[in-house]
Amino acid sequence: MLDFSKKKRLSQKFYQRDSVIVARELLGKVFVRKLNNQLFYLKITETEAYREKDDQASHTFNGKTPRNSVMFLPGGHLYVYFTYGKHFCANVVTGPENQGDAVLLRGMEPLNNLEILSQNRFSKTGLTNKEKINLTNGPAKICQALNINKNENGINLLQDEIFIVENINPDKEDIVTTTRIGIKKSADLPWRFYLKDNPWVSVKV
């Protein structure tokens, strides 16, 4: 049951579409992270879309800079940024090359290796149920648990270090669509998506 190695990897075609579509369709897919020769599997539970052209909250709204240049690569790369002096956040780059769009990964349900994730997050093992949720129910928590930082910025998701595989396709009624978190500009766009009944979601409506 925990053998995701035979599941089909998401194609470049999947990523090279509009970020709002990709954000919704990433829900339920399984994020795979190779770390110290072990594979970590996590079900994607919460996402947000960002777009260069019509989204003032996007890092790319005012054009290309050294920081955001990875967002202009073709869909299917990982964009990692540093913020608030402490935190890394990971995004899936979407759309064609030179279009600065991406999907922020905000929540994941860990499916294996919880003790290692716990070490990375809290420097201990033996989790309460509450701490288990707190492992990966936020964008910076995911990166801390999976040791994702500047080194992972620009990774190609069609290769073997980090990738995403097919899994369940949630029913429409199991997906909540709402506004994005933690932004002031373009704050009314309904571009956040999460799995309604899943606990690994940062904020529920």
Report how far residue 136's alpha carbon sits from residue 156's, in angstroms, rounded to the nearest whole number. 22
Report how far residue 177's alpha carbon sits from residue 195's, in angstroms, rounded to the nearest whole number. 9
Query: Which candidate, 184, 185, 176, places its Cα nearest to that of 203?
Result: 176
Report how far residue 165's alpha carbon sits from residue 3's, in angstroms, rounded to the nearest whole number. 11
Q: 3-class DSSP state for residue 185? A: coil
Looking at beta carbons only, is 43 or 121 nearer to DNA?
121
Binding mask 104-123 for DNA (x = CB under 7 A): x----------------x--
**Considering only 21-29, 64-72, 168-176, 188-196, which stretch makes contact with DNA by CB under 7 A?**
64-72
Query: Which candidate, 47, 40, 140, 158, places its Cα nearest to that of 87?
Result: 140
Straight-line distance from the first to the last Cα atom of the chain, in angstroms, rounded to the nearest whole number:
32
From candidates 15, 31, 40, 50, binder to DNA by CB under 7 A: 50
Looking at beta carbons only, is 11 or 62 nearer to DNA?
62
Residues 170-189 touching DNA, rule: CB under 7 A, are 180-185
What does the DSSP 8-state code read for residue 156? B
Q: Is 133 in the site for DNA (CB under 7 A)?
A: no
Looking at beta carbons only, is 7 or 182 nearer to DNA?
182
Q: Is 8 in the site for DNA (CB under 7 A)?
A: no
From candidates 17, 87, 132, 196, binder to DNA by CB under 7 A: 87
Q: What letter represents residue 153's amino acid?
A: N
Binding residues for DNA (CB under 7 A): 48, 50, 57-60, 62-63, 65-68, 71, 81-87, 89, 91, 102, 104, 121, 134, 138-141, 180-185, 202
